[in-house]
A = this chain, B = another copy of it.
Amino acid sequence: MSDIERFSKRILDYRNARDWKQFHTPKDMAISLVLEATEVLEHFQWKNEEDIENYLKDNKDKLGEELADVFYWVLLMCHDLGLDIEAVFEKKMEKNEAKYPVEKFRGKSDKYNKL
């Protein structure tokens, strides 16, 4: 069993034990994904780089928990939609490589300065 299969099984066992699948429409799961992602962001609000460095010394675990929540919804959405995260991830990485060729984008912030 791969890591991903094992994580997904962990999530499904948790959900099945509680009989919560009935609440998990794709739209509501996508809302959850966004809400959990904003909880990650909230940790960095009103802080400059130095504040963040200090903050992370004592709060890394809290941040890890928020990231775990995002991870949870990614895996559960993939499962329910019949998507193989490993395959879609590899496919997307190849698209990214084609879109941002090394010779053109190396050390360039172009991607990062335009909308």
A contacts, CB < 8 Å to B: 2-4, 7, 10-11, 14, 17-20, 22-23, 25-28, 30-38, 40-47, 49, 51-52, 55-56, 60-65, 67-72, 74, 77-78, 81-83, 85-93, 95-97, 100, 102, 105-107, 109, 112-113, 115
Contact = CB atoms under 8 A, between A and B. Distances in A.
A89 B74 CA distance: 12
Contacts of A49: 25, 27
A97 B14 contact: yes
Give the number of times this chain occurs in the complex, counting copies: 4
A27 B44 contact: yes
A85 B67 contact: yes
A112 B46 contact: yes
A88 to B, nearest CB: 3
